[in-house]
A and B are shown apart, each in its own frame.
Chain A
Amino acid sequence: MRRTGFDRGDRWGSALSATRWLGYTSVVPLKTTEPTHTDDPLDADQAVIDRVLAGDRNAFGILIERYSDPLYRHAYGMTGSADVAEDILQVSFIKAFHHLAEVRGRFDAWVFRIVANGCKDWLKNIRRTHLSYEEDDQPSGLETPEEELDRGEMRRDLDSALQSLPSSLREAFVMKHVEGRSYEEMAELLDATVGALKMRVHRAREALQKLLEDRYQ
């Protein structure tokens, strides 16, 4: 019998496979707010960009709706703060709006780079001192108290461990495991080779293993 990842049949698997589909950005737009005349997302985005450049400022909202979720997850994964992720997204989309005429090729890849650079700039200048996930530790009623406690601990420990990784390893891990991107997509977005990105993800995993194994094994 062969198994592939935590995406086959168990509770982790169903979440991963479903969100891998939902979180994908380059081929299938996350969500659209209006029908488009083409199935090609590149053409669909370009049609919206043309409308914005022609003066329909509100049409920019279509692009925000279409791509904000994976970008928000990326910013959150990189910074560990919902407030900072929100700020980075806001600044990035405003920047994208003002430079929209410069888009060549895929809008989603272009705006991803703006957000990714925003995260890196933030990380260079600010050291996070607070784990905002703590606020979400209230019991949801969906799990047993033991599971809730366990979930809160893992959340904090994983956050703390991620923050201790170099940003390039954290970025690769977040893109692979939180955003659910393929190595090929990551390579395209980060302008790196698949081999280099696999190496980063593997190193990130092994560093996390080292940091968390004593507590969880």
Chain B
Amino acid sequence: MMRENLDPRDAAREPLAEPRAVTPTDAIASDREVTPPRTELPPAVHAFLDGDKVAETQLSAAERELELWKRISAETGRRRRMVTPAYLPKQILSKLADD
């Protein structure tokens, strides 16, 4: 079975930037779980995205939203085909052997 390797490191790339040290503000921000601003989506769109059966007429009323979600779904679909880098399992086993 062919599986697309979407590991971005297979392409030429620039080095990753060093992550900066975490600040107390960052830690608080990541833990706070503030609900971000939202645009309410029609229930039919949620149902459709959840894989539930939705009448065509309900969806036609949400064409604009669906167009965006079609594009997002294309991207998440690509991400879902990512596979573990081939060398990683061997690398883990070799680390275990070193223990």
Secondary structure type dominating chain A contacts? helix
Bound-state Cα–Cα, A154 to B53, Å: 27
Neighbouring A residues of B71 by C-beta, 8 Å: 150, 154, 216
Establish whether residues B70 and A166, one from each chain, have CB atoms under 8 Å apart when the complex forms.
no
| A124-B30, A127-B22 known; A180+B80 contact, CB < 8 A | yes
A3 lies within 8 A of chain B by Cβ: yes
| A1-B56, A82-B9, A179-B80 known; A216+B68 contact, CB < 8 A | yes
A190 lies within 8 A of chain B by Cβ: no
Neighbouring A residues of B14 by C-beta, 8 Å: 135
Please, which residue of chain A has its CB at the minimum distance from the CB of B63?
A: A217
| A209 nearest CB across to chain B (Å) | 4
A206 lies within 8 A of chain B by Cβ: yes
Segment at the B interface, from A38-46, A58-66, A105-113: A58-66
Question: In chain B between 1 and 46, which residues have their CB closer than 8 angstroms to a CB of chain A?
Answer: 3, 6-14, 16-20, 22, 26-27, 30-41, 45-46
Question: B53-66 vs A: 1/0 string, CB under 8 Å?
Answer: 11110010000110
Bound-state Cα–Cα, A159 to B10, Å: 19
Chain B contacts to A: CB under 8 angstroms: 3, 6-14, 16-20, 22, 26-27, 30-41, 45-46, 48-56, 59, 64-65, 67-85, 88-93, 95-97, 99
Which 9 A-B pairs rank lowest in CB-CB distance, beginning with the nearest?
A135-B13, A136-B8, A206-B38, A15-B77, A19-B80, A68-B84, A166-B33, A130-B17, A5-B51
